[in-house]
Structure 1
């Protein structure tokens, strides 16, 4: 698959690289696994002096031997002797950067904690002593969000406040997914676009996998997911178990419940029979996997809170794959596929709301976009978009089938917000597959 999008990220990386010719730069790049960080960095460094080092979980001596050879070949430099400690290797790199400008990418940087946790202190000491005479463009890339956050944002950690720039890599947006489908499956339907968005969430690796398998319709995508040796079946475990550590089963249970529409804390606690406030807080703030949803216009401290999984694919994985691990383990893929088909309309109904929220966001016309419900979940409104500058409010009902949308009913529900929207012009939209 060809390289798509990332124009803003590439422009920022170029700006940082140019700045590094005058003063050393340390950039942190974070994004979930499979999002395309490595491809982005390699695209940016094409034809430019650069070194790419991948931190595997192996002995420090072996890592250093591998790194020395990579540096010698990438920068066309000689080195005589042996390096067995990363602090010595990093000191050598910083010395090289005093006479030349180049980019050093260290991928899966957080894995140094497993190799030798003192490496972070060594980097800090060498960086502080040599950065003033260096021309290095240093990029630390990581996929375990909680560990990267701790390394660089915890005031007790040696690399706290050392970074000069940060990049958070997000999934492809809906416009990029449309571009990809146009290139590889030009006759796609709204149903195909919705399935492609629902199952990949714009995560680059999943998109690439489906493109390479020529899987663009709902049924062909499901056939690709539910087959022997599928990339997708173990993906939730592969992406998250290391993040969560020994408490992963509790986190997985919570995410499974949220994915199955148990979206309030009381609902989750009543089922698990335990307090989950701390877990929800970490899932939101440390792992960035869920987010709080409050009714638009809710007061500060309002207890009207729901949670949702932010990642489309993980929402699918926890709803259908994790929940049916027994069938997956005995390779009864057809059984799970039938369950997906049975609940598909409900599942993608919520995905369609996300699609239109993102579409409104990308329009750049609104200062706030959200949803609304009153006490007891009364008067639910799928989408409300506000333009405070022009005093404009857009209310939208979202359904797969437009004929099932009643705009008069939507207007009646919206009238409960008349006091808060006094002086606003109001628009009412019926959004369905045909509007994608």
Structure 2
């Protein structure tokens, strides 16, 4: 896998590895985000044991076998966690998918607490725990966990930025198309080929493609029963953004809020509120949206068409995908504004007035059009009209489009077409 833009996290972990004290490092993040690549890159040059936990039974026995392959003399060590960690004292121990150990044995956090407090106390051992189950790893970090207060470093590994896609060799337009599918998840980015639409249509015809089952795997890391969660995500993908709309679509008897909270907790769903509103007061006006592009893509194109995909009859048409890319282009535009102007931006709406990009300090407002030959002057007047209706005054208006047929020269407005965006995208 291409190793992109993890230098800050890598440096933080290596500083811990270079210390003269016991370290417990926790790395977590969604499936395919690059946790294993980061950990293995960090421990290069150190004496280490890497164990990938499995779902099911006998992880302790399998861990001992792994240790023996690295250090044959470990065959004389008693098969329990305390004895094996004592044997590995002053080395680096990496356990991937740590939540599987907890699923097999719920006492594991307490066992590891004892190991940290008693067996490894005063040593230079480095223990690195990795996990893809966001809910279980969050519980592991909470004050209720036996390991609370023992960790010395925590890395919540997130998606790459859109701009990082240039380092995978994708040009701007293909980069936007691919970002709509893969987001900033390294594994997906490493799988994609260009031209994207040709690749994805061929990929969906493959019997063994990872695309068809990926979201099921993602959800099963977190939930025993996934059908209701899938229907909720389908509802949101189809524009049902309020609690009432989602409940009516899914048809779940009783309260649906607990499902939504769990989806928010693991980062698949987020609740957006108008950026200028008070978040507590504006909860009723909030909208649920899918938080990552791969999940959004899957519920727009894969899940609703799974029967046709299985028959090899489904194909994503360019015009259909371009329509989908409107919201993706908006994410790219927000990243551009955030980097260039140093502000955090979001959407703002009140009644029937909506602005694509706005920051709380009212420095910038923006509008995004994933279209060619856009009349930039007309869009500028539309944005000014919206701001007037909302009684807002901003320093700068930024209009994004693939290309413009007409613009207006003014210091107050910036027009960003694909040519200008490409220069920013290709900057190192």
CA distance, structure 1, for counterparts of residue 259 and residue 111 of structure 2? 33
Q: CA 1:170 to 1:364, structure 2 compared with 1: closer, same or farther past 3 Å?
A: farther
How far off its partner does 1:177 sit?
0.3
- For residue 198 of structure 2, what is the aligned residue in structure 1? 219
Partner of 1:117: 106
1:232-281, CA deviations, whole angstroms, 9 ceiling, x for partnerless residues? 111111111231212x1111111111112211212112222343222111
Output one character per residue of 1:354-387: Cα deviation in whole Å (capped at 9) or x when no partner.
Answer: 1111222334611x30111111xx121111135x
2:333 paired residue number = 356
- Structure 2 gaps of 5+ residues are 403-416, 422-428
Kindly indicate whether the alpha-carbon contact (under 8 Å) linking 1:225 and 1:231 is maintained by their aligned counterparts in 2.
no
Query: How many angstroms apart in 1 are the aligned matches of 2:17 and 2:173?
Result: 42
Say if 1:64 and 1:270 are closer, same or farther in 2 by CA, change over 3 A. closer
| Secondary structure of 1:343's aligned partner | helix
- Counterparts in 2 of 1:268 and 1:80: CA distance versus 1, 3 Å: closer
Q: Deviations over 1:34-70 (max 9, x none)?
A: 111111111111222222111113433xx44443343
8 Å Cα contact 1:381-1:396 kept in structure 2:
yes
**Are 2:363 and 1:392 aligned?**
yes
Counterpart of 1:158 (choices 132, 136, 146) is: 146
TM-score of the aligned structures, taking structure 1 as reference length = 0.85
Alpha-carbon contact 1:86-1:119 (below 8 Å) kept? no
Deviation at 1:132, TM superposition (A): 3.4
Q: Which residue of 1 aligns with 2:40?
A: 42
2:154 counterpart of 1:180: no
Counterpart secondary structure, 1:297:
coil
| 1:24 aligns to 2:22 (yes or no) | yes
SS of residue paired to 2:92: strand
CA contact (8 A) 2:197 2:318 kept: no
Q: Structure 1 residues 333, 364: closer, same or farther in 2, change over 3 A?
A: farther
Matched, 1:373 2:349: yes
Distance 1:428 1:171, change over 3 A: closer
How far apart are the structure 2 equivalents of 1:348 and 1:381?
18
| 2:393 is the counterpart of 1:414 | no
Secondary structure class of the residue paired with 2:159? coil
* 2:74 counterpart of 1:79: yes
Unaligned runs of 5+ in 1: 183-187
- Conserved in 1, the CA contact under 8 Å of 2:64 and 2:79? no
Equivalent position SS for 1:352: helix
- Contact persistence 1:381–1:397 (CA under 8 A): no
Distance 1:225 1:364, change over 3 A: farther
> Does structure 1 conserve the Cα–Cα contact (< 8 Å) formed by 2:273 and 2:286?
yes
Shift of 1:402: 4.9
For the residues of structure 1 that align with 2:339 and 2:152, how far apart are their CA atoms? Answer: 28
Tell me the SS of whatever aligns to 1:245. coil
Superposed CA offset, 1:273-324 (max 9, x none)? 3432221112112x11111111121133212111111110111111221122
Equivalent in the alignment of 1:315 = 296
d(CA) in 2 for partners of 1:80, 1:224: 45
- Residues 45 and 85 (structure 1 numbering): CA distance in 2 closer, same or farther, change over 3 Å? same
SS at match of 1:135: coil
2:68–2:75 contact (8 Å) kept in structure 1:
no
Does the CA contact (< 8 Å) of 2:358 and 2:366 recur in 1?
yes
Deviation at 1:77, TM superposition (A): 6.7
CA RMSD of aligned residues (A): 2.3
Aligned to 1:197: 179
Q: In the TM superposition, what is the alpha-carbon distance from 1:351 to its structure 2 partner? A: 0.8
Match of 1:129 among 96, 101, 118: 118
Matches within 5 A, 1:215-294: 215-246=194-225, 248-274=226-252, 275-285=255-265, 287-294=266-273
Q: Would the aligned equivalents of 1:411 and 1:428 in 2 still touch at CA under 8 Å?
A: no
- Cα gap change, 1:395 to 1:32, in 2 (>3 Å): same
Question: CA–CA distance in 2 between the matches of 1:145 and 1:370?
Answer: 25
Query: Displacement, 1:73?
Result: 4.7
The DSSP-based 3-state class of the residue aligned with 1:322 is helix
Number of the residue aligned with 1:11: 11
Match of 1:427 in 2: 397
- Does the Cα contact within 8 Å between 1:407 and 1:430 map onto a contact in 2? no
Equivalent residue number for residue 325 of structure 1: 306
User: Structure 1's 107 and 245: CA in aligned 2 closer, same or farther, altered over 3 A?
Assistant: same
Which whole-Å deviations, capped at 9, do the CAs of 1:110-138 have from their partners, x for residues lacking one?
00123222222111112112443111121
Q: Which has the higher helix share?
A: 1
